[in-house]
Amino acid sequence: MVAMLILAGIFVFLLSWLWLIWRAFIFKPFWGLAVVMPPFIVIFLLLHWRRAVLPLISLFVGAGLLAAGSYQLATEQPEKWQKLMAWNWFATGDAQAWGGEGQLQGSIFGQRFLVHSAEIDENVLYLREKTTDGFGAQLKINLLNTPNLQQQAGLFVDVLPDDQQPLPHIEIVWYDYERGQRLKKQITSDYTMHIALKSEPPNQLVGDFYLALATPQHTQVSGVLQVNSDKLRYQGTQVDLSYDHAQTIDYLLHNYSRSLLEVDNLHFKRTSKLDMFSVPLSVQGQLLIANKSFPVQFTLTKDQRWQVVDSNLAAIAQQLAARDSIQVEQAEEFSLAHLLANFNGYLNQEMQVKTINRHNFTGYFQGLNAEGGLIFKRSMHKGGEVTFQLQPDEIEEIMWMSEQ
């Protein structure tokens, strides 16, 4: 109805204008040519208003229809009004043509969808469309429920409609031009998805992407996806430590700790919020080393790039050295007699036992029973646990599986 009003108004207005030109031309050819230009139309109306009155009334009717349709469109569907003002009436999204072969694209609930940007943030994949009217669609795929997700080696996910939970959750945001509303829908099942992204240096994930919802929903997106696996910036193959971002700080402190402590298998977790505009920058966190957590703090400054100027890693290094020394001493002096004399210090410790009957097993020491027998507990392959007891004279050899 709105489109009919606007089109009718335009048609009546143009027809009335041609009528006015024709009436001016049959009066005098000079006036017929002159009224094409707006200033002379006003002069002709003032001097020969009797000849112009009917076309003028018709012009007002056309303008009224156009104004009524435009007002209704602007109040009920402002987004379409903006598209009309931008001469983009027939477009449903971006004014550009469909992307080239292989470009990530498709349709969302029957509307064209062309991916212009992609990013991964906290295991959530975002695919976004950029449109001239600002109402581009977005796909948000939460991969936190995906088992064994490994972004460093690549990103590989396959989901079929009959698969059971847990599955990646999908959120689709799009603009319905018919309703004049921005809509959102959560998808937790009944879809097909294939993601096969290979890792490329320095931090790129590149490969195939395919997503299709159940047929009645008219949603399918496919093509080649290229996305950064993190927020780090690179200069060649080296991380740009001048970039002000939390992941830059985390990367710097993780590698600084690993280098200074000479421990490859450690994990740094930041516990404090960052104020990148506060220099020197104070950072608190936890270092997880061999299943033990150490509180750590750093002071950073920035000239050309971020660098550590102070930390408590020296104290942590001393703790690790002392712990390793104790473990070596304990391992060297460990024996069955030592265990029986100091059993409280080895509770829940993993032991490897060889019996006089040549049976070997590994279990966790649970203490001594009333008769002085040793109690062990071990987990079964099919679930559950079993507890058993051995007398000291039944044990030929016992080894404490201490952490080295």
Does 381 lie in the same domain as 303? no
Q: What is the mean pLDDT of residues 291-320?
A: 92
Report pLDDT for 404.
Answer: 42
Task: Specify the DSSP element, H or E, that contains 284.
Answer: strand 281-289
Does 346 lie in the same domain as 300? no
pLDDT band, residue 307 (cuts 50/70/90): very high
Task: Specify the DSSP element, H or E, that contains 396.
Answer: strand 395-400
Task: Specify the DSSP element, H or E, that contains 353.
Answer: strand 350-355
328: in domain:
no
CATH number at residue 264: 3.10.450
Q: Mean pLDDT, the chain, as a whole number?
A: 83
> Both tokens of residue 106?
């498709």
Which of 61, 76, 91 lies at the terminal end of a domain, its last residue?
Answer: 76
pLDDT of 163 > 90? The answer is no
Closest of 343, 352, 339, 404 to residue 378, by C-alpha? 352
Does 182 lie in the same domain as 122? yes
169: in domain:
yes
33: in domain:
yes
Report pLDDT for 18.
Answer: 84
Evaluate the CA torsion angle 51, 56, 59, 61 in order and state its sign.
Answer: negative
pTM of whole model > 0.75? Answer: no
88: in domain:
no
3-state SS track over 6-40 = HHHHHHHHHHHHHHHHHHHHHHCHHHHHHCCCHHH
What 3-state class would DSSP assign to 109? coil
Domain tally, the chain: 4
141: in domain:
yes
Domain span at 272: 234-319
Report pLDDT for 106.
Answer: 92
pLDDT of 93 > 50? The answer is no
CATH number at residue 369: 2.30.30.100
Does 295 lie in the same domain as 338? no
